[in-house]
A and B are shown apart, each in its own frame.
Chain A
Amino acid sequence: MAKAKTKEKPVAKGELGWKEIEIGCFITEPGNSVEIRTGDWKSRRPVVDLNKCNKCTLCYFYCPEGCIAKNSDGYFEPDLFYCKGCGICATECPKDAIIMVEEAK
């Protein structure tokens, strides 16, 4: 999507100007989807209560976006840059440790 030369200069993730777009909006660098903010259209975001979480990993496996990762303390947390707010993690959590909160709040 980005022109190869933009690699030299840091560009805000997914905020390219129209002059920086590669011809035909082609993607010339494999794996650039990690740079794309796919979590910008969610209406609710997951919030994890670490006091309730028992690190069972179910949210990690159920997340269709693959945006839940283990942190340094071994707890599982969603990356809101990619999270689309589907709420599957909150529904599946057996300890009710995840609640969905309105984005506006």
Chain B
Amino acid sequence: MAKREGLEVSVAVADAAMLSDVDVVSAYPITPQTHIVEHLAELVANGELNAAYIPVESEHSAMSACVGASAVGARTFTATAAQGLELMHEVLYVASAMRYPMVMTVANRALSAPISIWGDHSDAMAVRDTGWIQIFVENGQEAVDNVICGFRIGEDKRVLLPVMVHLDGFALTHVIEPIELPEKKDVERFLPPFKYPLPLDPEKPVTMGALGSPFIYTEVKWAQEINLEKAKDVVLESWQEFGKVFGRTYSPIEQYRTDGAKVLLLTMGSYSETAMVAVDKMRGDGKEIGLLKLRLWRPFPYEELRKAVKDIDVLIVLDRAVSFGGPGGPVCSEIKAALYAEEKRPQVIGFVGGLGGRDISMAGFEEMINRGIEIARTGSEREFEIYGVRE
């Protein structure tokens, strides 16, 4: 039985990569991801982790090195945040379109300007369409577990895709939590060795990244889309299997105290923990409020979402990013689109909040939920409202 101990989440994430027996790590340090890659560098330097650590001059190079490593069939890990993720941007599309499994933890942080090292989801939402499998975690244990799951999901022959594990910068990366690091032998049982079907190999040459003329590009993109959609089955299967080995099971949308609730709040990442406390308090006051925690962001869990909201009247969605000049937060827009064709659907009320590290307290969530209920009844002058802004 694995021991439960107090660990900084970043350190535990690095340990999870080590337990997954990664072959190559290439990363460029950026706050608040730094402790993850520093600890990995230490583990490699100390001889505890038998892996190649490739130091690079930028995140663009880090992702490029990871693409190369994955192309030869190496189990590859990296981590970044905010501006670093943006600098990787063009290579992210290459990694997914060329079907290179790797796991990247993103220590979610606000994008400049103004410079902010603190957390929100603007970095994650900017890479929404890059073709990666994307999972949001709400605490350190989930981060550890989903790094390990990420390798199993991405490396599955039916998938062969890179996986992003989003964990909130500082709110998760820099806190010490009680975490159960799995036993190495159990991880080995859960995670088979990586065997890439078409690696770069002088004995069997292949051309990767050739020109795709108009006659083939559409077919390639459709194959990529279907592949990512179908990856959901493997995500579900891997989470189930993880549960059998380690006793913790995950689902695309986790429901918290939703029984009998007519109003639900939907959150992502670490703010779900505070939101749960707010829901507890409101339930204690006799209000039928529940919480949905969206964990699987790509591929989007349409079926699970529609099922989760089929009996409710109001769904309040909190986005931690702004789609400037658009219809509201990206998550809320997608949820509205996903429910549009449903015969019976709840009113969807969008809030943007928690930007650039702005905290939302338990009382704050309560206030937001109450305002959401009020908007559902009386309407709002805006497509979405922002929570906690000073006039």
Interface size of B as a range: 20 to 34
CB-CB under 8 A from B226, the residues of chain A are 18
Known: A38-B213, A40-B215. Contact between A23 and B160, CB under 8 A?
Answer: yes
User: What residues on A are CB-neighbors of B198 within 8 Å?
Assistant: 22-24, 26, 28
Q: How far is the CB of B223 from chain A (nearest CB, A)?
A: 4
Whether the pair B207, A27 counts as a contact (CB closer than 8 A) is yes
Q: Is the C-beta of A21 less than 8 angstroms from some C-beta in chain B?
A: yes
Closest residue of A by beta carbon distance from B198: A26
Closest to B217 in A: A25
Of residues 70 through 115 on chain B, the ones whose CB sits less than 8 Å from some CB of chain A are: 97-100
B210 beta carbon closer than 8 Å to chain A: yes
CB distance from B141 to the nearest CB of A (A): 33
Residue B341 is within 8 A (CB to CB) of chain A in the complex: no
The answer to the question of A49 belonging to the interface, with a C-beta cut-off of 8 Å to chain B, is no
A25/B97 contact (C-beta < 8 A), A1-B210, A18-B219 known? yes
For B160, the chain A residues whose CB sits under 8 A away are 23-24
| Cα(A16)–Cα(B222), bound, Å | 12
Q: Given the interface contacts A18-B226, A36-B213, does A26 sit within 8 Å of B219 by beta carbon?
A: no
Q: Is the CB of A24 within 8 A of B208?
A: yes
Closest CB-CB distance, B174 to chain A, in whole Å? 37
B205 at the interface (CB under 8 A from A): yes
- Tell me the smallest distance from the CB of A49 to a CB of chain B, in Å: 31
Residue in A14, A25, A26 whose Cβ sees the most chain B Cβ within 10 Å:
A25
A21 in contact with B206 given A26-B198, A36-B213 (CB within 8 Å): no
Q: How far is the CA of A16 from the CA of B219 in the complex (A)?
A: 8
| Residue A30 at the chain B interface, CB threshold 8 Å | yes
Give Cα distance in the complex from A21 to B223, angstroms: 8
Chain A 1-26 per-residue mask, 1 if CB under 8 angstroms from chain B, else 0: 10000000000001111110111111
Is the beta-carbon distance between A26 and B206 smaller than 8 angstroms? yes
Whole-angstrom CA separation of A22 from B223 in the bound complex: 10
Bound-state CA distance A36–B210 (Å) is 12
Which residues does chain A contribute within 8 Å of B97, judged by CB atoms? 24-25
Whether B197 sits at the interface, judged by CB under 8 Å, is yes
B218 contacts across to A, CB distance below 8 A: 18
| B215–A18 touching, CB < 8 Å | no
Q: Which residues on A sit within 8 Å (CB–CB) of B223?
A: 18-19, 21
Q: Is B389 an interface residue (CB 8 A)?
A: no
Select A24's contact among B99, B215, B219, beta carbons within 8 Å: B99
Q: Do residues B219 and A17 form an inter-chain contact, with CB atoms below 8 A? A: yes
Interface check A37, CB cutoff 8 A: yes
On whether the beta carbons of B220 and A18 are closer than 8 Å, the reply is: yes
In the complex, the answer to whether B205 meets A30 with C-beta atoms within 8 Å is yes
Q: Is B216 an interface residue (CB 8 A)?
A: yes
* Residues in A neighbouring B99, C-beta threshold 8 A: 23-24
Residues of A contacting B207 with CB < 8 Å?
26-27, 30
Residue of A nearest to B221 (CB): A18
Identity of the chain B residue whose Cβ is nearest the Cβ of A37 in the assembled complex: B215
B191-233, CB under 8 A of A: which get 1 and which 0? 0000001100000011110101111101110110010000000
* Interfacial chain A residues near B222, Cβ < 8 Å: 18
What is the chain B residue whose CB lies nearest that of A17? B219
Q: Which A-B residue pairs are the 6 nearest by beta carbons?
A: A27-B207, A24-B98, A18-B219, A24-B99, A18-B223, A18-B222
Chain B residues in the interface with A (C-beta under 8 A): 97-100, 160, 197-198, 205-208, 210, 212-216, 218-220, 222-223, 226
24 sampled A-B residue pairs with Cβ under 8 A: A1-B210, A1-B216, A14-B213, A14-B216, A15-B215, A16-B219, A18-B218, A18-B222, A21-B219, A21-B220, A21-B223, A23-B99, A23-B160, A24-B97, A24-B98, A25-B98, A25-B220, A26-B198, A26-B208, A27-B207, A36-B213, A37-B215, A38-B213, A41-B214
Q: Which residues of A contact B (CB under 8 A)?
A: 1, 14-19, 21-28, 30, 36-38, 40-41
Instruction: Known A-B contacts: A19-B223, A24-B97, A24-B198. Give 11 more (CB < 8 A).
Output: A1-B210, A18-B222, A18-B223, A21-B220, A23-B198, A24-B208, A27-B206, A27-B207, A27-B210, A30-B207, A38-B213
